[in-house]
């Protein structure tokens, strides 16, 4: 058993091993998304290792240590400590805002770099931790773009808002509501569900009575799929709009033909238009099946970390953290540059629509 | 008016699902006084097996109706075996153990089944192929689908069949006898093990049917779907008076209606102070209120608890 | 006198062992296990609290985590930038315990007439109601910050000495997790002390009497109503204390930490360890906290036994945990370390069953 190993680096074929942690829910209700994220990071690390990476002229091998945080804040801090003990130089994770925030304190105290591919709560990067980064637009950025799109592009005047009462869904929905109100649209109904519900008939019946022309959902695809089906079943013809939690292939399989015409956003540029995008997509799909959600972000996070280490000539976070902050990288999700807090600077956000059973990019917007 | 009709119908469909699952809980509880926490997971297994069978059947080009029956039968068969196995290996050895010991085994079983299903069917949500009739109707102003009507009809049918079974057959009589007093029933020549096993088999078959209906109605299944469903159904069984078959039915329907009407009218009732985010609070509040005034549930008998 | 001397020596050895335990774990297995140990102590406190309600008084409570949540949120609100209030821990922790006790009475009062599983479902509902309120009290007035949770909660500190940082004590560099270990250990010992005193008091015996036969207890002149409420309040106060400690230790609380599964896990701890028996309950808490973490090594075990990783270790972890729960209950149905009274009872029911079986056998012949 490898119980020990605080900071110690084992050698493998003479190459020094640099450990990178990955923390996400790998069991429990959100396991599928966590696994997607882990697979994205794994693909990047495998690719990098094939290319005989070097840091400061010495051959290195990157090793990804995956841990299951069960989407539970307490387990997340345990996992964070465990990764720190194992001597990771950086961590890709966690997935949920509720786990990313408590874990970020442990990484900060240990001086380990952290990039979350998916945590969107604004607070994560506002704690004054110089180790915390993310490669995804935060709720404020994405919610604003979605609000603009709903009112200005889709011309919605009567809007109903639903959120799933998670940190992600509520954060996004609140920002969206604020934006559409400021643009003069009416929020005719605000309804709530949970992140494990499948029956939305009651709240959708309420919404139907208010005759909205657009329904916004802050939440994930396991809810969005049956939600849009039940909406159509009740005869609600309003447009359906969601965030990155909805823009997944799983949404289309779960919603079936009712998915047609739904809108959703995703931070970053359309993957097919990025230089390395199609190649990544092909490789990932061949190895792990369709991309669900966070794989490309985790993939970019891994590259951003390795690039910073290579450029700094060190896998010591003290040395590569300043370089990481100066990142200027063309990832498969778009250009990645960080501001002083660790958020993406002027992250671009792309809007998509389901057309003939597939997500088609409509337009890319720079967040305000 | 249309809105109220729709909310009531929504509640009835949701409640019927709870009721079928609650029947399984209540039967097991009635004779063993055991909260079978794994019952929700058996429901999930039923849904998963049915989806797999339908997937294979569609690939083989089977028509819809025989395919539905085949999937249903397969789900029932697998769930019955599972229920029997769980009873035999996890619960029977603990029948004379302290009251809470089998509860913990049941929780362990529930976690175990979830993770086994995760290994077999993967971590993703699985869409339920649209093999059921997809028609939509208007009924008293409410939108109604074929699947929802099938759910209502099936629930009614199962309920009738189960009542007949318990009231009119020798097996039913044996079950009632064991529920009253296990040692006496044994002395009267009732084979307790066989009757308990039969109860688990029937309860699991009901769970399988419920699982298929839930997955068909919502169009998806997931290895974690059983936990919450089981919990709601258990609450419904308690509301109606646990151990009582009519009570499970009543409790299920009531819980469905409370949830639906709660989500629908909690806003107007509190002048917008509370919204549908307090739907479950409302449901639990009603549950607590009912139990405070009727401590043994709506149809439960007032029995002195045995130590 | 010899026996007494031996008892003193044993106590001394135990105290010494507990004092050096975090350093030993840190040195042998790494700081990660010290953190797990900290959580084990927190759960031991919770389990001891629930033990009063379930183990002593025999009231099945499935919403116990609510009291943990109440304590944690009170600490978070009174010692964080949320309202800009920064009260010291010695004021907030007892307040959290008191508030939790109040909630315990609040829960207890309407449920006094309920028994067994009806009580279980009502307490479950109560736990969920508290969680839902914590999750939704961000509007119309923002109190709990809703699903976003509360960040930057103060660490326990006295003056400039904070448990949230590494500290130099007598030339030894002591990490935060070890500092918290001592605080948690002190609190847990206090909880054990109170539990022990209660167990052998009039009240403790009254609880047992109610557990065994409520009607008889009432007939013997025990004021069952007050005694039951006291059980709820005492149990809840331990939960509230543990909650406050949790909030300061994590520095972050959000409603998802207080879900039903947590209540169920705590119940598992006391049943598995041995209901009503203090060392058993602590054993159960430590075991069930450490087991899921220890199971993270299944990948390594697979590599050692089979030479490669056959199944993703993360996928096997909870499966093995469920299996362990089932097996442990099958082999030790009265718990791993049952109280003497329970052991006797269990043996007795077993005997009765055997006799029944035997007479049945005779009857058949």
Q: Clarify whether residues A201 and A259 are in a common domain.
A: yes
Residue C356: closest C-alpha in chain B: B183
Q: What is the model's pLDDT at position B292? A: 84
Region C97-121: what's the mean pLDDT?
A: 88
Interface predicted TM-score (ipTM): 0.89
Q: What is the model's pLDDT at position C364? A: 46
Window 169-188 of B: residues touching A by CB (8 A cutoff) are none
Q: Clarify whether residues A247 and A179 are in a common domain.
A: yes
Q: Clarify whether residues A114 and A133 are in a common domain.
A: yes
pLDDT category at C213 given cuts 50, 70, 90 is confident
A199 interface with B at CB cutoff 8 Å: yes
Would residue A1 count as lying in a domain?
A: no
Would residue A217 count as lying in a domain?
A: yes
Residues of C in contact with A170 (CB under 8 A): 138, 146-148
Q: Clarify whether residues A153 and A296 are in a common domain.
A: no
Q: Clarify whether residues A285 and A242 are in a common domain.
A: no
Kindly determine whether residue C128 and residue B280, on different chains, have CB atoms separated by under 8 Å.
yes
- CA–CA separation, B171 vs B198, rounded Å? 8
Residue A292 near residue A36 (C-beta atoms within 8 A): yes
SS3 B265: helix
Kindly determine whether residue B143 and residue A233, on different chains, have CB atoms separated by under 8 Å.
yes
Residue A351 near residue A363 (C-beta atoms within 8 A): yes
Q: Which helix (H) or strand (E) holds A63?
A: strand A58-68
Q: What is the model's pLDDT at position A368? A: 63
Q: What is the model's pLDDT at position C28? A: 85
Region C79-91: what's the mean pLDDT?
A: 92
Residue A276 pLDDT > 90, yes or no? no
What are C341-365's pLDDT values in tens digits? 766 665 555 555 555 555 554 444 4
Residue B89 CB partners (closer than 8 Å, separation 6+): none
Residues of B in contact with C129 (CB under 8 A): 280-281, 284-285
- CA–CA separation, B285 vs C128, rounded Å? 11
Q: Clarify whether residues A110 and A129 are in a common domain.
A: yes
Q: Clarify whether residues A120 and A42 are in a common domain.
A: yes
Where do the domains of chain C lie, and which CATH numbers do they carry? 17-277 (1.10.3470)
Q: Which helix (H) or strand (E) holds C169?
A: strand C167-169
Residue B141 near residue B5 (C-beta atoms within 8 A): yes
What are B181-235's pLDDT values in tens digits? 888 888 888 999 999 999 999 999 999 999 999 999 999 999 999 988 998 898 8
Of B10, B130, B222, the CB nearest to A205: B10
Say what percent of chain C tops pLDDT 70: 91
Q: Which domain holds residue A251?
A: 140-267+349-366
Q: What is the model's pLDDT at position C318? A: 82
Pairing verdict, β A348-355 and A358-366:
antiparallel
- CA–CA separation, B263 vs A291, rounded Å? 35
Q: Clarify whether residues A56 and A130 are in a common domain.
A: yes
Residues of B in contact with A35 (CB under 8 A): 123
What are C182-191's pLDDT values in tens digits? 999 999 999 9
More confident residue, C64 or B287: C64
pLDDT category at C302 given cuts 50, 70, 90 is confident
CA distance B268 to chain A (A): 11
- CA–CA separation, A119 vs A6, rounded Å? 28
- CA–CA separation, C47 vs C266, rounded Å? 6
Q: What is the model's pLDDT at position C166? A: 82
Residue A196, domain CATH:
3.40.50.2300
The overall average pLDDT reported for chain A is 91
- Cα dihedral sign for A82, A88, A89, A90? negative
pLDDT category at B306 given cuts 50, 70, 90 is very low
Identify any residues that bridge with A364 across adjacent strands, giving them in sequence order: A350
Identify any residues that bridge with A207 across adjacent strands, giving them in sequence order: none
Number of inter-chain CB pairs under 8 A, A vs C: 99
Identify any residues that bridge with A63 across adjacent strands, giving them in sequence order: A19
Kindly determine whether residue B109 and residue C326, on different chains, have CB atoms separated by under 8 Å.
yes
SS3 C362: helix
Residue A26: closest C-alpha in chain C: C314
B93 interface with C at CB cutoff 8 Å: yes
- CA–CA separation, A96 vs A114, rounded Å? 14
Burial class (CB in 10 A: 0-12, 13-18, 19+), C294: middle
- Cα dihedral sign for B73, B77, B82, B87? positive
Kindly determine whether residue C213 and residue B307, on different chains, have CB atoms separated by under 8 Å.
yes
CA distance B77 to chain C (A): 24
Region B246-271: what's the mean pLDDT?
A: 89
pLDDT category at B245 given cuts 50, 70, 90 is confident
Residue A170: closest C-alpha in chain B: B277
Residue C42: closest C-alpha in chain A: A74
Residues of A in contact with C173 (CB under 8 A): none
Q: Which of B263, B291, B299, B303 to substitute to test the interface with C, most C CBs within 10 Å?
A: B291
Kindly determine whether residue A254 and residue B219, on different chains, have CB atoms separated by under 8 Å.
yes
Chains that touch B (3 or more CB pairs under 8 A): A, C
Of A78, A105, A165, the CB nearest to C35: A78
Strands (E), A170-311: 186-192, 214-218, 239-242, 263-267
Q: Clarify whether residues A129 and A186 are in a common domain.
A: no
Residue A197 near residue B14 (C-beta atoms within 8 A): no
Q: Clarify whether residues A235 and A165 are in a common domain.
A: yes
Q: Clarify whether residues A144 and A253 are in a common domain.
A: yes
What are A311-347's pLDDT values in tens digits? 999 999 999 999 999 999 999 998 899 999 999 987 7
Would residue A4 count as lying in a domain?
A: no
A165 interface with C at CB cutoff 8 Å: yes
CA distance B197 to chain C (A): 18
- CA–CA separation, C96 vs A89, rounded Å? 39
Kindly determine whether residue B143 and residue A234, on different chains, have CB atoms separated by under 8 Å.
yes
Would residue A215 count as lying in a domain?
A: yes
Residues of B in contact with A191 (CB under 8 A): 263, 275-276
Residue A4 pLDDT > 60, yes or no? no
Number of domains in chain A: 2
What are C224-278's pLDDT values in tens digits? 889 999 999 999 999 999 999 999 999 999 999 999 889 989 999 998 898 889 9
Kindly state the tokens that stand for C315: 């996928």
Burial class (CB in 10 A: 0-12, 13-18, 19+), C309: middle
- Cα–Cα distances in Å, from B147 out to A227, B17, B40, B221? 16, 12, 21, 16
- CA–CA separation, A191 vs A164, rounded Å? 9
What length is written for chain A? Answer: 368
Q: Cβ–Cβ contacts within 10 Å for residue C334, how many?
A: 22
Q: What is the model's pLDDT at position B32? A: 84
- CA–CA separation, C337 vs C340, rounded Å? 9
Q: What is the model's pLDDT at position A10? A: 47
pLDDT category at C135 given cuts 50, 70, 90 is very high
Region C129-149: what's the mean pLDDT?
A: 90
- CA–CA separation, A115 vs A300, rounded Å? 10
Q: Clarify whether residues A122 and A34 are in a common domain.
A: yes
What are A76-131's pLDDT values in tens digits? 999 999 999 889 999 998 999 889 999 999 999 999 999 999 998 999 999 999 99
The overall average pLDDT reported for chain B is 89
Where do the domains of chain B lie, and which CATH numbers do they carry? 7-122+143-293 (1.10.3470)
- CA–CA separation, A242 vs A264, rounded Å? 5
- CA–CA separation, C37 vs C48, rounded Å? 16
Residue B138's φ and ψ, nearest 5 degrees, are -110, 130
pLDDT category at C40 given cuts 50, 70, 90 is very high
Say what percent of chain A tops pLDDT 90: 79
């Amino acid at each position: 058993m490898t119980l020990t190993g605080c900071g110690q680096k084992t050698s493998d074929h003479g190459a020094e091993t640099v450990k990178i942690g990955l923390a996400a829910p790998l069991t429990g209700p959100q396991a599928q998304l966590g696994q997607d994220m882990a697979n994205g990071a794994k693909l990047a690390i495998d690719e990098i290792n094939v290319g005989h990476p070097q840091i400061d002229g010495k051959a290195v091998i990157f090793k990804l240590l995956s841990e299951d945080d069960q989407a539970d804040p307490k387990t997340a801090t345990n996992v964070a400590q465990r990764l720190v003990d194992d001597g990771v130089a950086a961590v890709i994770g966690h997935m949920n805002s509720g786990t990313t925030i408590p874990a970020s304190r442990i990484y900060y105290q240990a001086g380990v770099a952290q990039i979350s591919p998916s945590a969107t709560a604004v607070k994560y990067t506002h704690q004054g931790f110089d180790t915390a980064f993310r490669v995804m637009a935060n709720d404020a950025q994405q919610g604003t773009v979605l609000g603009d799109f709903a009112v200005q592009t889709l011309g919605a005047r009567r809007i109903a808002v639903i959120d799933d009462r998670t940190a992600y869904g509520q954060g996004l929905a609140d920002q969206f509501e604020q934006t559409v109100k400021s643009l003069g649209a009416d929020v005719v109904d605000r309804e709530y569900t949970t992140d494990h519900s499948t029956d939305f008939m009651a709240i959708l019946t309420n919404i139907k009575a208010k005759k909205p022309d657009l329904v916004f959902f802050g939440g994930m695809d396991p809810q969005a799929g049956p939600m849009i089906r039940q909406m159509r079943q009740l005869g609600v013809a309003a447009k359906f709009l969601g965030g990155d939690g909805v823009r997944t292939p799983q949404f289309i399989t779960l919603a079936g033909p009712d998915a047609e015409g739904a809108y959703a956003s995703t931070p970053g540029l359309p993957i097919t238009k990025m230089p390395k995008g199609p190649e990544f997509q092909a490789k990932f799909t061949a190895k792990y099946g369709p991309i669900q959600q966070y794989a490309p972000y985790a993939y970019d996070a891994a590259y951003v970390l390795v690039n910073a280490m290579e450029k700094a000539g060190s896998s010591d976070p003290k040395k590569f953290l300043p370089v990481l902050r100066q990142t200027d990288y063309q990832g498969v999700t778009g250009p990645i540059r960080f501001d002083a807090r660790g958020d993406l600077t002027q992250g671009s956000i792309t809007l998509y629509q389901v057309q003939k059973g597939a997500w088609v990019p409509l337009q890319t917007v720079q967040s305000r | 008016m249309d809105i109220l009709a729709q909310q009531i119908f929504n509640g009835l469909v949701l409640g019927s699902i709870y009721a079928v699952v609650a029947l399984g809980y209540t039967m097991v509880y009635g004779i063993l006084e055991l909260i079978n926490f794994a019952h929700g997971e058996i429901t999930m297994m039923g849904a998963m097996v049915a989806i797999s069978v339908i997937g294979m059947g569609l690939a083989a080009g089977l028509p819809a109706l025989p395919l539905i029956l085949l999937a249903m039968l397969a789900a029932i068969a697998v769930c019955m075996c599972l229920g029997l196995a769980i009873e035999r290996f996890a619960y029977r050895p603990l029948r004379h153990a302290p009251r809470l010991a089998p509860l913990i085994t049941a929780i362990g079983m529930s976690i175990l089944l979830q993770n086994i299903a995760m290994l077999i069917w993967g971590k993703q949500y699985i869409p339920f192929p649209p093999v059921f009739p997809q028609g939509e109707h208007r009924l008293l102003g409410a939108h109604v689908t074929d699947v929802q009507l099938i759910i209502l009809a099936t629930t009614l049918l199962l309920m009738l069949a189960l009542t007949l079974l318990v009231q009119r057959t020798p097996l039913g009589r044996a079950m009632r006898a064991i529920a009253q007093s296990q040692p006496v029933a044994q002395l009267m020549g009732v084979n307790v093990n066989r009757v308990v096993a039969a109860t688990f088999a029937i309860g699991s078959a009901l769970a399988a049917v419920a699982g298929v209906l839930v997955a068909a109605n919502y169009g998806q299944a997931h290895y974690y779907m059983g936990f919450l469903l089981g919990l709601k159904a258990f609450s419904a069984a308690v509301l109606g008076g646990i151990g009582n078959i009519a009570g499970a039915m009543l409790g299920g329907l009531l819980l469905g209606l409370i949830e639906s009407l709660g989500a629908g009218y909690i806003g107007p009732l509190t002048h917008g102070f509370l919204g549908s985010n307090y739907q479950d609070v409302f449901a639990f509040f009603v549950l607590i209120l009912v139990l405070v005034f009727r401590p043994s549930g709506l149809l439960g008998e007032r029995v002195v608890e045995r130590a | 006198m010899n026996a007494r001397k031996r008892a003193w020596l044993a106590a001394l050895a135990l105290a010494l062992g507990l004092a050096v335990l975090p350093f030993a774990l840190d040195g042998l297995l790494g700081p990660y296990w010290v953190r797990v140990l900290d959580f084990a102590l927190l759960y031991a406190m919770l389990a001891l609290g629930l033990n009063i309600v379930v183990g002593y008084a025999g009231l099945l409570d499935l919403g116990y985590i609510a009291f943990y949540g109440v304590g944690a949120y009170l600490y978070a609100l009174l010692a964080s930038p949320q309202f800009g209030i920064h009260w010291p821990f010695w004021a907030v922790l007892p307040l959290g315990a008191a508030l939790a006790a109040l909630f315990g009475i609040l829960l207890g009062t309407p449920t006094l007439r309920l028994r067994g599983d009806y009580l279980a479902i009502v307490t479950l509902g109560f736990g969920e109601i508290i969680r839902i309120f914590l999750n939704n009290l961000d509007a119309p007035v923002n109190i709990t910050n809703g699903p976003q949770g509360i960040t930057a909660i103060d660490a326990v500190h006295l003056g400039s000495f904070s448990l949230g940082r590494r500290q130099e004590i007598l030339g030894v560099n002591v990490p935060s997790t070890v500092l918290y270990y001592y605080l948690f250990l002190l609190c847990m010992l206090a909880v054990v002390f109170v539990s022990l005193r209660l167990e052998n008091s009039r009240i403790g015996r009254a609880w047992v009497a109610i557990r065994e036969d409520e009607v008889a207890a009432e007939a013997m002149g025990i004021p069952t109503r007050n005694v039951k409420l006291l059980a709820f309040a005492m149990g809840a106060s331990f939960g509230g204390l543990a909650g406050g400690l949790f909030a300061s230790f994590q520095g972050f609380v959000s409603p998802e930490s207080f879900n039903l599964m947590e209540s169920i896990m705590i119940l598992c701890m006391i049943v598995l360890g041995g209901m009503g028996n203090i060392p058993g309950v602590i054993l159960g808490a430590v075991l069930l906290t450490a087991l899921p973490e220890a199971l993270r090594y299944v990948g390594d075990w697979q590599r050692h036994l089979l030479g490669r990783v056959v199944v993703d270790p993360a996928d096997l972890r909870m499966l093995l945990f469920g299996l362990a729960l089932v097996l442990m209950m099958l082999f030790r149905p009265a718990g791993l370390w049952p109280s003497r009274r329970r052991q006797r009872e269990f043996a007795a029911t077993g005997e009765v069953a055997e006799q029944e079986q035997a007479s049945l056998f005779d009857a058949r012949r």
